[in-house]
Amino acid sequence: MDSQKTAVYNNLFERMIDSMTDFGNFDREEFVAILDEICEFFGISKGVTEFYESLSAEKEGKGETMIDYDNGRGEKVALYRRIVTPSMTVIKSTLFMPEDAEPLPEDEYRKLDLMLRAMLSFISRNRLGNLVEKLAFYDEDGYPNINYFTRHLELMNEKDLIRGNTTIQFNLRHFSLVNKEIGRSAGDIAMRRYFKTISSVIGHDGLICRVGGDNFAAIFKSDLLRSVLQVAEGFPIVYDDDNEKRIMISACVGVYVIPEDYVFENPGDILGKIFSTAHDAKLDLNGTVVYYNETSIKEKERKMHVRRFFKEALANGEFQAFYQPKVNIVTGEIVGAEALSRWVIDNKIVAPIEFIPVLEQNTDICSLDLYMLELVCKDIRRWLDAGKKVVRVSVNLSRKNLIDVDLIEHLLTIVDKYEIPHRYIEFELTETTTDVAFTDLKRIVTELRNKDISITVDDFGVGYSSLNLIREIPWDVLKLDKCFIPTEENYGITELIFRHVVAMAQAMGLECVAEGVETEDQIRILRDNDCLVAQGFYFDKPMPVKEFDKKLDGFRYECP
């Protein structure tokens, strides 16, 4: 090869290597143009390169043609190469020359061979990369998967394209029923068509992927939201070749409109937001679209936290009983107390409103109530042993406890373990609407009463007070909620009702306790109406047992 030809060769080689290794911007057309020049340079008339995913694929002839060049000038084999990669993929290439062409001189032959091997090695790597990519970024049915979505978000962020977009996650409604109705393979077709339709609305700037089963996630320009939702919410899909059979496919959708000031931290943040919003959408029986809401998510996280750590916290003794005195408003004496639970985490006191409603969603609340009873019994035992003047202490019992058929036994076992005289124990149950078995309630109240344990209707006046409830069930105490107690402002009719309810309760032999008493005025009204026991911030807030200990021996509050 003379020096001029060598220079041309060197230039071609360099350009070929350049175009192959500029990974981010591989330009196939440019690459093919260079290969054309190379063929021209060496007088190659035809070149065929094939790729096989495995040795057996090669045997069966199931390959993929990567390059197919033919200028129609001849078919004499000039060079043949076959490479088997370490991952057992095979790449083969054959170069041809015109029949009458002279064989290439030795040095040119070696140079052509070098170029061919470099190119084959590039193609096989590239192809392998695609294969790996296919495995990592697509699911078994060929839908882009969650990895694809995650990577897409990262790429968008790198180009600062995240803002101005909306992400959604959606779940096809009752898709298992759809599958049952039209069959699995028709179901697959319907799903694919649904997916394609949304894809086309989203366009090339966006992405939709399947995150598993019948759940999909998508990101797209926010101005497309309306159109996307219109489709996502549902439309009839033709699922047979004859264009005759249709089925309605619809979805519930969780939406997160990415705000203008959004700071991208990681894809997990966006995914977490749409996942939990979509979950809400799924639970929401009325609507189909739920928008992401910061506070509801925080609320959900908090609930999850309670659910997760409750049992451990109970075992670790993180729950304490705080005591709030019940006071005789004439003498100022403490005549009783209510035990209220507090969750103490790292010296921080968590109020019941933060955890009781969550625990009431399952039977965890029953464990807490029994635990509180045990704490109270321990304290009473200690007071009795120290010769203190003990008052009756009430423990709240969630209505959930009513489903425990051995409730009475469970309660008495604890009380009797500490040998507490039953008259010191009281249970507060919130008033019940008709949904809870009235007979269970009646049985439990009656049995406890027979055991000399007092039982209270808590929060009377909140919700649906039922006179039936006081007539049918033998309570000892009626605890009037603070919203029931008249104030200076709403005196008239409220006072009238209050006075008569108190009178009626007392006539029936029920003690009346007013709770949530905060002002002098309220105390005066209570006294005027002959409701003589009050509990409320006016006297004291619920306090730790150590403080309450000090109040037990004859402490008197000042009464107005």
Nearest distance from C-beta of residue 478 to ligand C2E, angstroms: 13
Among 47, 461, 486, 536, binds ligand C2E (CB under 6 A): 536
- Binding mask 447-476 toward ligand C2E (x if CB under 6 A, else -) reads -----------xx-----------------
By the 8 A CB rule, do 558 and 332 touch?
yes
Give counts: helices (H), strands (E), the chain: 18, 21
Residue 199 or residue 324: which is nearer to Mg ion going by CB?
A: 324
Query: Which two tokens mark 72?
Result: 């129609």
Residue 396 interacts with Mg ion (CB under 5 A): yes or no:
yes
Rounded Cα distance, 356 and 363, in Å: 11
Return the residues of window 423-462 that contact Mg ion according to CB under 5 A.
428, 458-459
Tokens describing residue 525: 């009204």
Residues 381-410 contacting ligand C2E, CB under 6 A:
396, 398
Q: Does 351 bind ligand C2E (CB under 6 A)?
A: yes
For ligand C2E, the closer of residues 290 and 373 by Cβ is 373
Q: Which stretch binds ligand C2E (CB under 6 A): 49-57, 257-265, 361-369, 548-556?
A: 361-369
Q: Binding to ligand C2E by residue 540, rule CB under 6 A?
A: no
**Binder of residue 461, out of ligand C2E, Mg ion, none (CB less than 5 to 8 A by kind):** none
CB nearest Mg ion: which residue?
428
What is the 3-state secondary structure of 5-42? Answer: HHHHHHHHHHHHHHHHHCHHHCCHHHHHHHHHHHHHHH
Residue 517 binds which of Mg ion, ligand C2E, none (CB < 5-8 A, kind-dependent): ligand C2E
Alpha carbon distance 540, 336 (integer Å): 13
Residues 494 to 533 in contact with ligand C2E, rule: CB under 6 A: 515-518
Measured between alpha carbons, how far apart are the two ends of the chain, in Å?
Answer: 118
Q: Which residue reads 């799903």 in tokens?
A: 191
Strands 533-535 and 319-328: antiparallel
Using CB under 5 A as the binding rule, whether residue 49 contacts Mg ion is answered as no
Quote the CA–CA distance of 189 and 36 in Å, as a whole number.
Answer: 43
Say whether 516 sits in a helix, a strand or coil.
Answer: coil
Dihedral (CA of 272, 276, 282, 287) sign: negative
Q: Letter for the amino acid at 470?
A: I
Total site size for ligand C2E, rule CB under 6 A: 24
Q: Of residues 133-172, which lie at the interface with ligand C2E (CB under 6 A)?
A: none
Q: Is 454 helix (H, G, I), strand (E, B) or coil?
A: strand
Residues 514, 485 contacting (CB under 8 angstroms): yes
Spatial distance between the Cα atoms of 489 and 491, rounded to a whole number of angstroms: 6
Q: Which does 372 bind (CB under 5 to 8 A by kind): ligand C2E, Mg ion, none?
A: ligand C2E
Segment 6 to 35, residues that bind ligand C2E, using CB under 6 A: none
254 is a contact residue toward ligand C2E (CB under 6 A): no
Residues 146, 139: Cα–Cα separation, whole Å = 9
* Candidate ranges 2-10, 179-187, 345-353, 497-505; the one touching ligand C2E (CB under 6 A): 345-353
Buried residues in 163-201 as b, exposed as e (16+ CB within 10 A): eebbbbbbbbbebeebbeebeeebbebbbeebbeebbeb
By rule CB under 5 A, what count of residues binds Mg ion? 4
Residue 257 CB, nearest approach to Mg ion (Å)? 42
Q: Please name the amino acid found at residue 210.
A: R
Least spacing, CB of residue 430 vs Mg ion, in Å: 7
Question: Which 459-498 positions form the footprint of Mg ion (CB under 5 A)?
Answer: 459
Distance between CA atoms of 195 and 143, rounded to whole angstroms?
9
Q: Which is nearer to Mg ion, 96 or 484 (CB)?
A: 484
Q: Is the CB of residue 466 less than 8 Å from the CB of residue 498? A: no
Rounded CA separation 292/435 (Å): 33
Stretch that binds ligand C2E, among 60-68, 131-139, 198-206, 348-356 (CB under 6 A): 348-356
**Shortest Cβ 324–ligand C2E spacing (Å):** 6
Does the protein bind ligand C2E through residue 379 (CB under 6 A)?
no
**339 contacts 375 by C-beta, under 8 angstroms:** yes
3-state secondary structure of 544: strand
CA-to-CA distance for 40 and 341, rounded, in angstroms? Answer: 89
Single out the residue of 252, 329, 372, 420 in contact with ligand C2E (rule: CB under 6 A).
372
- 310 CA to centre of own chain: 19
Examine residue 353 and tell whether it contacts ligand C2E (CB under 6 A). yes
Q: Please list every residue from 413 through 442 that binds ligand C2E, using CB under 6 A.
A: 428
Residues 270-309: x where in contact with ligand C2E by CB under 6 A, - otherwise, as a string: ----------------------------------------
Among 26, 80, 491, 537, binds ligand C2E (CB under 6 A): 537
Closest CB 523 distance from ligand C2E, rounded Å: 11
The nearest distance, CB 537 to ligand C2E, in angstroms, is: 3
Residue (187 or 516) nearer to Mg ion, CB: 516
- Spatial contact of 207 and 286, defined as CB atoms under 8 Å apart: no
Cβ contacts of 157 within 8 Å, gap of 6 or more: 264
In this chain, which stretch among 95-103, 277-285, 421-429, 524-532 interacts with Mg ion, using CB under 5 A?
Answer: 421-429
List contacts with Mg ion (CB under 5 A).
396, 428, 458-459
List contacts with ligand C2E (CB under 6 A).
324, 340-341, 351-353, 356, 365, 368-369, 372, 396, 398, 428, 458-459, 515-518, 535-537, 542
